[in-house]
Amino acid sequence: AQTVTQSQPEMSVQEAETVTLSCTYDTSESDYYLFWYKQPPSRQMILVIRQEAYKQQNATENRFSVNFQKAAKSFSLKISDSQLGDAAMYFCAYRATLYGGATNKLIFGTGTLLAVQP
């Protein structure tokens, strides 16, 4: 069964600094997607970034980028120039594609609570 592990329950970063959130996953599938979601306090869950497993190039969205290491099954999120609005719970998630009868479920990690210090 697929699993997603986030080993950092909490992280803290100074405003304008860079922080990296870790995520590892376990799967026997070769084709899948990985996601980072952000959930600010008492606010809606939003998609931060998406990575397709068959693409070697790391995804980037403005200040957010990932380090995708497929062989190591690692998918970390780097936030550059951290802002106060980045403070949130961050969830790493995995989704196999539908080929081969894979489940349609999004598998979430336990989350990392990021605090941004002014």
Partner 1 sequence: SAVISQKPSRDICQRGTSLTIQCQVDSQVTMMFWYRQQPGQSLTLIATANQGSEATYESGFVIDKFPISRPNLTFSTLTVSNMSPEDSSIYLCSVEGRLYEQYFGPGTRLTVT
Which residues would be at the binding site for partner 1 (CB under 8 A)?
Answer: 33, 35, 43-47, 50, 52, 89, 91, 95, 97, 104-106, 108-111, 113
Conformational region of residue 70, where left means phi above 0, alpha means psi within -120 to 50, and beta covers everything else: alpha
Q: How far is the CB of 44 from partner 1 (least distance, A)?
A: 5
Q: How far is the CB of 117 from partner 1 (least distance, A)?
A: 20
In whole angstroms, what is the distance from residue 69 CA to residue 67 CA? 6
- Of 18 and 23, CB closest to partner 1: 23
Q: Which is nearer to partner 1, 15 or 55 (CB)?
A: 55
Q: CA 81 to CA 26: how far, in whole Å?
A: 30
